[in-house]
Amino acid sequence: MPLYVDVALAVPSSKSFQYSVPDDLASKMSPGLRVFVRMRNRRMAGTVVGISSVKIVEEIKPIEKVIHDHPVLDDAMLQLAEWMSQYYLCSIGQVIDAMLPAAFRKGKHFMKSRSASSGHTHEIDSPHDLPLTQAQQKAYDTILSNIHSKRSGIFLLHGITGSGKTEVYIQLIRKALEQGRSSIVLVPEISLTPQAVNRFYSRFGDCVAVIHSRLSGGKRVEEWHRIQSGQAKVVIGARSALFSPVQNLGLIVIDEEHEGSYKQEEAPRYHAREVAKKRIELENAVLVMGSATPSLETFYACRKGGAACLDLPQRIESRPLPAVEIVDMRRQQEGKKERIFSTLLEQAIRDTLFKKEQVMLLLNRRGFSTYLHCSSCGYVMTCPNCRISLAYHFDKSMLLCHVCHYQCFPQKLCPGCQKNYLHYFGVGTQKVEQDALRLFPEAKLGRMDADSTSRKDSHENILKAFKKKEIDILIGTQMIAKGHDFPNVSLIGVISADTALHIPDFRSSEKTFDLLTQVAGRAGRGDIPGKVLIQTFVPHHYSIQSAKEHDFHGFYEKEIIFRRELSMPPFTHLVRVIVRGVSEKEVVRQILTLAKELRQKAGDGPIHVSGPAPCLVSKEHSQYHWNLMLKGPDQAAVSVFLKSVLDSFKKTKVVIAVDVDPV
Give 512's Cβ-side CA count (13 Å radius).
28
Distances (CA, A) of 594 to 475, 579, 588, 607, 611: 46, 10, 10, 15, 11
CA distance 302 to 311: 12
Q: Strands, DSSP E only, in 329-428?
A: 358-362, 371-374, 391-393, 398-400, 407-408, 422-425
| Cβ atoms of residues 21 and 3 within 8 Å | yes
- Predicted confidence band of residue 444 (pLDDT cuts 50, 70, 90): very high
| Cβ atoms of residues 376 and 420 within 8 Å | yes
For residue 268, say if its preceding peptide bond is cis, omega within 30 degrees of 0.
yes
- Predicted confidence band of residue 526 (pLDDT cuts 50, 70, 90): low
- What residue spans define the domains of the chain? 4-105, 134-317, 319-365+441-563, 370-425, 573-660
- Of 163, 145, 479, whose CA–CA distance to 286 is shortest? 145
> What is the largest distance, in Å, between two alpha-carbon atoms of the chain?
88
pLDDT value, residue 445: 93
The H or E element spanning position 234 is: strand 234-237
For residue 472, give the DSSP letter.
Answer: S
The H or E element spanning position 618 is: strand 608-620
In this predicted model, which residue has the larger pLDDT, 410 or 287? 287
| Residue 395 reports pLDDT greater than 70 | no
Residue 227, classed as helix, strand or coil, is: helix
The amino acid occupying position 420 is N
| Cβ atoms of residues 366 and 451 within 8 Å | yes
- Of 293, 292, 294, whose CA–CA distance to 273 is shortest? 294
Mean pLDDT across 514-541: 83
Tell me the pLDDT tens digit for each residue of 297-313.
Answer: 999 999 999 999 999 98
| Residue 365 reports pLDDT greater than 70 | no
pLDDT value, residue 303: 93
CA distance 513 to 345: 20
Tell me the pLDDT tens digit for each residue of 201-221.
Answer: 889 988 999 988 778 888 889
Residues 6+ apart with CB under 8 A from 559: 296, 509, 510, 513, 542, 543
| Cβ atoms of residues 209 and 91 within 8 Å | no
Residue 138, classed as helix, strand or coil, is: helix
Q: What is the 3-state secondary structure (H, E, C) of 536-551?
A: ECCCCCHHHHHHHCCC
Mean pLDDT across 178-190: 90
CA distance 73 to 30: 10
Tell me the pLDDT tens digit for each residue of 82-132.
Answer: 999 999 999 999 999 999 998 888 877 776 665 544 444 455 556 678 899
For residue 570, say if its preceding peptide bond is cis, omega within 30 degrees of 0.
yes
Please give the CATH number for the structural domain made up of 573-660.
Answer: 3.30.70.600
Please report the DSSP string for 284-302 in residue order: T-EEEEEESS--HHHHHHH
To the nearest 5 percent, what fractions of the chain are helix, strand and coil? 35, 25, 40
pLDDT value, residue 113: 60
- Pairing status of strand 531-536 against strand 489-494: parallel
pLDDT value, residue 337: 61
Tell me the pLDDT tens digit for each residue of 540-580.
Answer: 999 999 999 989 999 999 999 999 998 899 999 999 999 99
pLDDT value, residue 119: 45
Q: Which residues of 75-106 are buried (b: 16+ CB within 10 A; e: fewer)?
A: eebbbbbebbbebbbbbbbbbbbbbbbebbee
* Span 4-105 CATH architecture: 3-Layer(aba) Sandwich (3.40)
Fold of 134-317: Rossmann fold (3.40.50)
134-317 and 319-365+441-563: identical CATH topology:
yes
Please give the CATH number for the structural domain made up of 319-365+441-563.
Answer: 3.40.50.300
- Of 188, 535, 163, 532, whose CA–CA distance to 360 is shortest? 532
Residue 219, classed as helix, strand or coil, is: helix
Q: Residue 495, exposed/middle/buried by CB under 10 A (0-12, 13-18, 19+)?
A: buried
Termini Cα distance of the chain = 50
Please report the DSSP string for 438-453 in residue order: HH-TTS-EEEESTTTT
Q: Which residues of 200-234 are buried (b: 16+ CB within 10 A; e: fewer)?
A: bbbbbeebbbbbbebbebbbbbbbbbbbbeeebbb
pLDDT value, residue 320: 77
Tell me the pLDDT tens digit for each residue of 321-337.
Answer: 888 899 988 776 555 56
Could you tell me the sign of the dihedral formed by the alpha carbons of 63, 68, 71, 77, in that order?
Answer: negative
| Residue 66 reports pLDDT greater than 80 | yes
Tell me the pLDDT tens digit for each residue of 220-279.
Answer: 899 999 999 999 999 999 899 999 999 999 999 999 999 988 999 888 999 999 999 999
